[in-house]
Amino acid sequence: MNVKILLIRPKPHKETIGLQKVMICEPLELEYLGTYIKSYGHEVEILDMILEKKPISFYIEKFNPDVVGLTAYIAHVNIVKEYAREIKQIKNCSVVVGGVHAEVVPEDFDSPFIDYIIKANGIKTFGQIISALQNNLSTENIEGIWGNNLSPIKETTFAYPHPDRSLVKKYRDKYYYMFHNPCALMKTSFGCPYNCSFCFCRKITDGKYFFRNIKDIIDELKNIPEDEIYIVDDDFLVDRDRLLEFCNALDEQNIKKKYLIYGRADFIAKNEDVIKRFQASGLRAVIVGLESGREEELLKYNKKSSVEINETAVSILNKYNIECYGTFIIGIDYEKKDFSNLYIWIKKLNIKFINLQPFTPLPGTELYDDYKDTLIISRDQFEKWDLAHTVVKPVKMDIRSYYFNILKIYYKITMNPVNILKMIKKYGIKECFKLSLGTSSITMQYIKKSLQKEIR
Ligand code: B12
Ligand code: SF4
C-alpha cells in the first residue's frame, strides 16, 4: 500500500523579523525529499504555508495524509510544534520534523505531538521511516532518528535524484530573491572548509565539506526553467579549478543564466581572474560575510580575513559590476561611535545592499554555552532567534538605542538618493518600489520593537 505524504514549509511567526517581505525561496529541501519518496511510488504533496492563506487544519482535512513532514529552522520551532499539535487533533498520522536545526539541536523539537525528529541524513532517514511505516515494521533501528540512541555518521556524498521542481509548480512564479525574480535554488556543496567561531552552518555537516561534480550540477541546471539561480552553498567560492571548470561547462553547454552565490572575501581578493571569468558566464551577485570593518573583531570571529582583504574584495566586485550583498555582525559591545564608523566604512566601500545581524550565539555552536547565562531572549522564544533580534544584552547601550542605531544604518544606506537612482536605473521602478515596500515593512517591525515598553 502506498503512503500519502504531505510535506510542509511553515509560515514564520509574526514576532519573527522575517525576510519573506523581500524574498521567498523555493523549499528545495522538501523538493529533494518529495522527489526521492515519489520514486518509490508514494503520493507526495508540498504545502508552502508562506504562500497559502488558509489554516493548517484545512489542508490536513483536504489531503488526509498518512505522514506529515515538517521542515524548520530555529525560528520555526514553536510554529512546527503547534502545527504538530493541530495535525494530531485532526488525524492520527505520523509527524516527522527535519531540517538544519533538528540536525544540530534535535532536542529543541521534543514534543508529544512529534513522532520522529531527524538528526542525520534527512533524505535517507525519511525514506527508511516511510518504508518501515508502510510495512508495519519498527523504526527503532533507524540511525538518523533522534531518540533511538544510535550514532549515525553524517554522509559525505550526495547521490539523490535531482529535485523535481514541478512539485511546487503552483507556487513557482512567486519565488524570488530581491531583484532576482523569479528565482530557483540549487545546492552544489555541503558544509564549509573554514571555521568561523560564530558559524552554525559548519555544525550541520559535523565540520565536513563535500561537493557534487560539475557534470551532475550542469545536468540539473539544464532542467531548471528559471534564469536566475541562487546557489545556496555556504561558500561557493572555494576551489578555483572547480569554478573554472564550472564556467567552461556553462559556456560549452550554452547555458545562459544569472547566479547569486555566497562567497568569502579572501577568495575574491585573491582570485580576481576567476571572478572576471565567472562574471562573463553569468555571475550577478555575491553575498559576502564581511562581518566587520574592525581588525580585532575579524580576528575574534576567526574569519581568516582582514579589513584590507574585505575592501579589495568589494572593489573587485564593483569593478566587474557584480552586486555585493554585504552581511555584518553587530557586536554586543557596540556603542554609538562603532555604529557611525560602520556606516562610514560601508559608505566608503559603496555597498548598496546590507544585512546587519546582531551577534547571535546560536544553540549548537560553542559560543552558545559562553552566552547562555546572559540571554535576554530565552532559548524557548524560538521565533525571536531570527538573527535580527538581539538575544544577548548589549553591553554599552540600552536595547532601544541599539535597535535604533541598526535602523539608522539601514535607513541611510537604502534611502541614499544616489543608491536609489542607481537601483532604479538597473532594475526598473516597479521592482524598486516592490522592494522598498518590503524593506519598509521590516523597518516597521523594528520600530514597533523599539517602541515596546519592555523590549524583548
Ligand atoms: C538559502 C537559505 C535561506 C533562504 C530560504 C531557503 C529555503 N530553502 O527556503 C532565505 C534567504 C529566504 C533564508 C531565510 C532565513 N534563514 Co536561511 N539559510 C539558507 C541557507 C544558506 C541554505 C538553506 C537551503 O536552502 N538548503 C538546501 C536544502 C536542500 O538543504 P537543507 O536545508 O540542509 O535540507 C536537508 C536536511 O536538513 C533535510 N531536511 C530539511 N527539512 C526536512 C524535513 C523533513 C521532514 C526531513 C525528514 C528532512 C529534512 O533534508 C534536506 C535535504 O538533504 C542556510 C545555510 C545552510 N547551510 O543550511 C541558511 C540558514 C538555514 N538560515 C537560517 C536562518 C536563521 C534564516 C532566517 C530565520 C533568518 C531571518 N532573519 O529571516 C530566515 C527564515 C526563513 C523564513 N522565511 O522562514 C539559519 C538557520 C539556523 C538554525 N539553527 O536553524 C541558517 C543555517 C544560516 C545561519 N545563519 O546559520 N534562508
Ligand atoms: S566561511 Fe561562512 S560558512 Fe564557512 S565557517 Fe565562516 S561563516 Fe561559516
Residue nearest to atom 60 of ligand 1 (CA): 73
Q: What is the pLDDT of residue 415?
A: 83
- For the chain, give every domain's residue range: 4-134, 165-451
Q: What is the pLDDT of residue 18?
A: 73
- Residue 127 carries which DSSP code? H
Give the C-alpha separation, 15 to 430, whole Å. 28
Nearest atom in ligand 2 to 199's CA: 8
Is residue 278 within 8 A of residue 248, CB to CB? The reply is no
Location of C-alpha cell 536609489: 420
Percentages helix, strand, coil for the chain (3-state, rounded to 5) are 45, 15, 40
Cβ of 118 below 6 Å from ligand 1:
yes
The residue-averaged pLDDT of 277-288 equals: 98
Give the C-alpha separation, 58 to 90, whole Å. 10
Cβ of 377 below 6 Å from ligand 1:
no
Residue 137 corresponds to which amino acid?
A: L
H-type alpha helices, 193-255: 201-204, 214-222, 240-252
4-134, CATH topology level: Rossmann fold (3.40.50)
Of all ligands present, the nearest one to the C-alpha of 383 is 1
Tell me, in angstroms, the distance from the centre of ligand 1 to residue 233's CA.
Answer: 11
Is residue 6 within 8 A of residue 68, CB to CB? The reply is yes
Over the stretch 369-401, which tens digit does the pLDDT of each residue have?
A: 999 999 999 999 999 999 999 999 999 999 999
- Residue 375 carries which DSSP code? B
**How confident is residue 267, by pLDDT bands cut at 50, 70 and 90?**
very high
Cβ of 184 below 6 Å from ligand 1:
no
Is residue 30 within 8 A of residue 7, CB to CB? The reply is yes
List beta partners, residue 354: 326
DSSP codes joined into one string, 66-130? SEEEEE--GGGHHHHHHHHHHHHHH---EEEEESHHHHH-GGGG--TT--EEB-S-HHHHHHHHH
Cell of 268: 575574491
DSSP codes joined into one string, 385-420? -SSSS--B--SSS-HHHHHHHHHHHHHHHHT-HHHH
Tell me, in angstroms, the distance from the centre of ligand 1 to residue 94's CA.
Answer: 23
Location of C-alpha cell 547562555: 372
Residue nearest to atom 6 of ligand 2 (CA): 196
Is residue 72 within 8 A of residue 49, CB to CB? The reply is no
Is residue 324 within 8 A of residue 288, CB to CB? The reply is yes
Q: What is the pLDDT of residue 455?
A: 59
DSSP codes joined into one string, 38-56? HTTT-EEEEEETTT--S-H
The architecture in CATH of the region 165-451 reads: Alpha-Beta Horseshoe (3.80)
Over the stretch 133-159, which tens digit does the pLDDT of each residue have?
A: 999 999 999 999 999 989 999 999 899
Over the stretch 90-109, which tens digit does the pLDDT of each residue have?
A: 999 999 999 999 999 999 99
The residue-averaged pLDDT of 261-267 equals: 98
Cβ of 195 below 6 Å from ligand 2:
yes
Residue nearest to atom 89 of ligand 1 (CA): 200
Q: Residue 351: is its pLDDT beyond 80?
A: yes
Percent of the chain scoring above 90 in pLDDT: 88
**How confident is residue 425, by pLDDT bands cut at 50, 70 and 90?**
confident
Neighbour tally for 425: CB within 10 Å: 10
Q: Residue 1: is its pLDDT beyond 80?
A: no
Mean pLDDT, the chain, integer: 95
Is residue 118 within 8 A of residue 101, CB to CB? The reply is no
431: left (phi over 0), alpha (psi -120 to 50) or beta: alpha
Is residue 7 within 8 A of residue 45, CB to CB? The reply is yes
Tell me, in angstroms, the distance from the centre of ligand 2 to residue 300's CA.
Answer: 14
- Identical fold at 4-134 and 165-451? no
Is residue 40 within 8 A of residue 22, CB to CB? The reply is no
> What is the separation, in whole angstroms, between the first and last Cα of the chain?
50
Candidate of 22, 45, 100, 190 to mutate for ligand 1, largest count of ligand atoms within 8 Å of Cβ: 100
Tell me, in angstroms, the distance from the centre of ligand 1 to residue 71's CA.
Answer: 9
Of all ligands present, the nearest one to the C-alpha of 159 is 1
Location of C-alpha cell 555537516: 205
Cβ of 367 below 6 Å from ligand 1:
no
The residues, ordered by sequence, that sit 6+ positions from 234 with a Cβ below 8 Å of its Cβ are 189, 191, 192, 201, 202, 262
Tell me, in angstroms, the distance from the centre of ligand 1 to residue 348's CA.
Answer: 32
